[in-house]
Amino acid sequence: ELKVEQNPLFLSMQEGKNYTIYCNYSTTSDRLYWYRQDPGKSLESLFVLLSNGAVKQEGRLMASLDTKARLSTLHITAAVHDLSATYFCAVDMYEGNTPLVFGKGTRLSVIA
């Protein structure tokens, strides 16, 4: 059974600090997705990582993928309150155009 594990599940951090969210998965998938979800809202695509060593950055968020370690990280730099949300990583269930298997999510709260 494919498993996607995120940690931490809850993260409270001060504005201006840095932190990393980790996503481990159990398949040999070469693709990994990061989504953001605000309370009561749908999923917003943040990053699509397509190969080993892929690194993408948008604003204060940077995501990377190590397919050999089956690990992705989402690094937050100098956190601001607007980043408060739940972040999900997901991988393809199979190869090709397939459903996603999601982690449980990391609920991030940025406090002043």
> Where do contacts with another protein occur on this chain (CB under 8 A)?
4, 31, 33, 35, 40-45, 48, 88, 90, 92-93, 96-105
Q: Residue 71 has which token pair?
A: 């690990």
- Structural contact between residues 7 and 22, judged by C-beta atoms closer than 8 angstroms: yes
In the bound state with another protein, the residue whose beta carbon lies nearer, of 56 and 80, is 56
Minimum Å gap between C-beta 40 and another protein is 7
CB of 97 to another protein, least distance (A): 5
Describe the chain by its helix, strand, coil percentages, rounded to 5: 5, 55, 40
